[in-house]
Structure 1
Amino acid sequence: MSTLEIKLPRMGESISEATIINWLVNEGDEVTQDQVILEVATDKVDSEVPAPASGKITKLMVQANEVVQVGQVMATMEASENQSASVTKPAEEKASSKVDSKKEKVTLPKVKTSAAQKSTSKSYTLNENQNTFFSPLVVSIAKEHHISFEELARIPATGNEGRLRKSDIFKYIEEGRPAQFAQSIPEPSGFQVPDLKLDKGKGRIVEMDRMRQMIADHMVYSKHTSPHVTAYVEADLTEMVNWRNANKNAFQEKYGQRLTFTPLFVEAVAKAVKDFPMINVSVDGKNIIVKDQINIGMATALPSGNLIVPVVKNADQKDLPTIAAEVNSLAEKARNNKLKHDETSGSSFTISNVGTFGSIMGTPIINQPEVAILATGIIKKRAEVMEYEDGDKIEIRQMMYLSLSFDHRVVDGFLGGSFLRRVADYFEDFDMNRTY
């Protein structure tokens, strides 16, 4: 028999760590190749980790609720003799793994904290024995917020063995970065978050589930990162509504897919994004990354009430039946908690249909690292004054408000307003004679 290391596999382009949910095996258990032995969770979805070979689990090296890095050893096992050759990695792959593992963490010199620094705030205590191994995700967040390595070392860490987690940084930023200006002087300097002792009331305490905590972190991070501006327009969807009502049954018979409004929205938004490529960007320090793919995320409610954003990749290159099939498939997987990491990553622009909940309009928070998000309100019949050559007439029209929240660092009012108006124009100028 040979000893194998079971490592956390790569689970998506932007995934660098995961939380252990539950081991499905114990030390000494016999397992078969591809048998699910572990459940893990990232900031997007939950996943299962299979056994790399048949054999016996010899040691579990991490426990439930611990955070592990991609490539970190989680357990060891003794592989069966007939499995040994097939699971041995080529030398090139081993070398690659070694290189990757070195990139997983950054080692920093320990920072000495003086007594004066410890008294920076009455409600904030600086830690002296920080673990100075920082993950690439932590370093990336620190870079975006211009947090130095010395300041990172002063942030209280709640991760395993004193490791700094992204939630620790978000909490620290939310508190006003109280250690930002800590120096070896008697009096503290810089803004300090006051301890207001707010009365939060009494009642039944409901602990946030893991996903709700991650959503909260993501929303706070987005508001701290991007100066949000929201613009609004009103669109007349009468032609689109009438076309859908006239064709939805035939569409389902022909393609076996329900024709909701979401595929029509995705199609129109992808066309508008193509017209205004500077909406399809992300910010990296002082650089703007113009994406070469138009991947439309669609905010979707889970059975728990939490939201997740599955993604229609290359939406500008797909016809309506294909988009409808993907939208229906992603929505069904979301309802059944079956989404994979690749299906919830890589979005470059997001649509949030707040009209689903009966809302007239919304002011959505940008889905980082994107720079804009569109909210579509409820489609509502209303009497409107229509202008014709022979005079004005009052007609019943299908109206909807659209709102666009954008990152004012890189999207100014002209670009944001022009893009939003273009989306509305595509909604309004719907071809009633189109085929599918």
Structure 2
Amino acid sequence: MSTSVKMPRLGETVAEGTIGSWLKNEGDYVEVDESLAEIETDKINAELPSPVAGRLAKILAQPGETVAVGTDIALIEESADVSAAAASASSAPGPDAAPVKSDAQAATPLLNARDEQKVATKPSPVANRHGEQKEEEERQRISPLARRLAREHGLDLNDITGTGTSGRVRKEDIMAYLEQHSSVATAPVQQVPSAPAAVATQPAAVAPAYITGEDEEVVTPSRMRLSIAEHMVRSKRTSPHATTVVEVDMTNIARWLQQHKDEFKRREGYGISFVPFVMKAVCEGIRKVPLINSTWTEDNKIIVKKRINLGVAVATDVGLVVPTIHDADQYTLAGLAKQVNAIAQRARANKLTIQDMQGSTFVVNNPGVFGTIISVPIINQPHAGILSMDAVVKRPVVTEDDAIAIRSMMYLCLSFDHRILDGAGAAGFLQAVRAKLQSYGREVDVY
């Protein structure tokens, strides 16, 4: 029986991926979750684990090839004697055989094993291509065929607008540009027939969108920045954004953290902050208003997600990524703190896995760590909403008995898809989140 290996979705908005290199050759035996290939997207690079144990019968997508999510890229042949054959192969390896991995290595398809696997496998031609064209690929994503056409005609990719997914330049874009380029060059000849020679010597050029001054610098966006830009524009174009804000009294939580966070970190080995408290409260709000945990489909249906998988916006040196904490409502406060710490470390070390980037249903953003007071986030498509938590700031507040007290206050800002929710539903969600956060007393049980 053959099992197809498909291009995974590395992120909610990623529609395609590129084969960086194959870590196994045709005919090699692989274990379940053993790394098969490196997959590259605008957001992250990750290793693709094998879904089954068996023999890699056929590779359908070659290194450097970009294919849509869900496309078959390889076939693995499962058989009853796979284990015996694999054991035989490992006991008598040939000169080209890949070294056998330990169980711990095979069960951990993370990017920190990439260097070892690259040494163990035959160097891929894509490595040389990446070295020669790194600067070009950083400027703009293009298909291999379009890249070749651009080189043949000496075109600057920054002058060409891509019409493919995420602004990807296709062969059709190159041909359209060449046709337009040609018409621009020949148009003056028709208008001024008396001086064809002068016109012929004029090189056709496209006027720059902006002329840089002496005190200015041109910065070419990275692939990730171009992807983020495209996604933000598409999100605003897709969802009718509406925003509502509430103020939350975080005094009891702030006092508990001040008294216990150092002890908690010494005991557990990781820190705890306001983020797990907000995430726990968001789970409570989703239970009260399930529509906030949904998505609007192209055929005008609303799909309500029963699992609460919270995306966490993480700022890295190269851009913003949104990995996922699956079934966030099943964790305690301490458990959420552990998950947030682990996933943030993987994101900043560029070691996010395929599973980390899939399946989120709602996003919590924390710009408050940078001191922001109020921020209005853009929805991470195809979600129904996104919540920003801003800085917890001490200020004088009028209490219920008309006294003035110094309290630790925070603004929560919800951007929501107005196709799915009205203001009353969004306000009901925020009310539930605020009620949960303000329900904590002086003593907090984080376990």
Q: What is the TM-score of this pair, normalised by structure 2?
A: 0.63
Show the counterpart of 1:121: none
CA deviation after TM superposition for structure 1 residue 293, in Å: 0.8
Which residue is equivalent to 2:166?
Answer: 167
Secondary structure of 2:280's aligned partner: helix
In the TM superposition, residue 10 of structure 1 has moved relative to its aligned partner by 3.9
Amino acid across the alignment from 1:260:
S
Tell me which residue corresponds to 1:422: 432
Distance 1:86 1:212 in 2: 43
- Structure 1, gaps ≥5 residues long: 77-81, 88-156, 172-194
Change (3 A) 1:160 1:7: farther
Change (3 A) 1:244 1:70: same
| 1:62 corresponding residue in structure 2 | 62
Partners of 2:10 and 2:41 within 8 A in 1: no
Alpha-carbon offset, residue 379 of structure 1: 1.0
Match for residue 394 of structure 1?
404
| 2-structure distance, mates of 1:289, 1:50 | 29
Pick from 290, 296, 308: which aligns with 1:294? 308
Whichever residue aligns with residue 213 of structure 1, its letter is: L
Alpha-carbon distance in 2 for matches of 1:383, 1:360: 15
Which of 275, 279, 285 is the matching residue for 1:262?
275
**Cα separation, partners in 2 of 1:208 and 1:64, compared to 1, 3 Å:** farther
Q: Secondary structure at the match of 2:335?
A: helix
After TM superposition, list the pairs within 5 Å mapping 1:10-409 onto structure 2: 10=8, 17-21=16-20, 38-42=37-41, 44-49=43-48, 62-64=62-64, 66-67=66-67, 70-73=70-73, 159-160=143-144, 165-168=164-167, 199=210, 201-202=212-213, 203-284=216-297, 285-304=299-318, 306-388=319-401, 392-409=402-419
- Number of the residue aligned with 2:158: none
Sequence identity of aligned pairs in percent?
34
Following superposition, the deviation at residue 251 of structure 1 comes to 2.6
Contact 1:315 1:323 in 2 (8 A): yes
Distance 1:317 1:54 in 2: 34
1:335 maps to a residue whose letter is R
Larger RCO, structure (CA 8 Å, separation 6 or more): 2
More helix by share: 2
**Letter of the 1:373 counterpart:** I
Q: 1-side partners of 2:361 and 2:58: how far apart?
A: 43
Over aligned residues, Cα RMSD in angstroms? 4.1
Q: Give the partner amino acid of 1:41.
A: E
Give how far 1:208 is off. 1.8
More moved, 411-420 vs 29-38: 29-38
Distance 2:57 2:86 in 1: 18
SS in structure 2 of the partner of residue 219 of structure 1? helix
C-alpha separation between the residues in 1 aligned to 2:422 and 2:212?
A: 41
Displacement of 1:345 = 1.7
Go from structure 1 to structure 2 and tell me whether the alpha carbon gap of 1:165 and 1:385 turns closer, same or farther (over 3 Å shift): same
Distance in 2, matches of 1:201 and 1:65, equals 36
Name the count of aligned residue pairs.
Answer: 331
Distance of aligned partners of 1:316 and 1:225 in 2 relative to their CA distance in 1, 3 Å threshold: same
Deviations 1:241-276 (A, max 9, x none): 011222223333443331111111111111111111
Alpha-carbon distance in structure 1 between the residues aligned to 2:22 and 2:221: 22
Aligned partner letter, 2:366: N
- Say whether the 8 Å CA contact 2:309–2:360 is kept in structure 1: yes
Q: Residues 319, 170 of structure 1: CA spacing in aligned structure 2 closer, same or farther, 3 A cutoff?
A: farther
Q: Secondary structure at the match of 1:404?
A: strand
The separation in 2 between residues aligned to 1:83 and 1:319, in whole angstroms, is: 40
Q: Which amino acid aligns with 1:403?
A: C
The answer to whether the 8 Å contact 2:380/2:386 transfers is yes
Tell me the distance in 2 between the aligned counterparts of 1:170 and 1:58: 29
Contact 2:60–2:72 (Cα < 8 Å) also in 1: no
Deviation, 1:84, is: 11
Cα drift, residue 225 of structure 1: 0.6
Q: Which residue of 1 aligns with 2:132?
A: none
Q: TM-score, normalised by structure 1?
A: 0.64
Q: Take 2:65 and 2:219, find their aligned partners in 1: how far apart are those partners?
A: 19
3-state DSSP of counterpart to 1:387: coil
In 1, the alpha carbon distance for the partners of 2:238 and 2:383 equals 11
User: What CA distance in whole angstroms lies between the structure 1 residues aligned with 2:308 and 2:53?
Assistant: 39
- SS of equivalent to 2:399: strand
Change in CA separation of 1:225 and 1:260 when aligned onto 2, cut-off 3 Å: same
Can you give the 5+ residue segments of structure 2 that lack an aligned partner in the other structure? 77-81, 88-140, 147-161, 171-205
Aligned partners of 1:170 and 1:220 also within 8 Å: no
Q: Which residue of 2 aligns with 1:176?
A: none
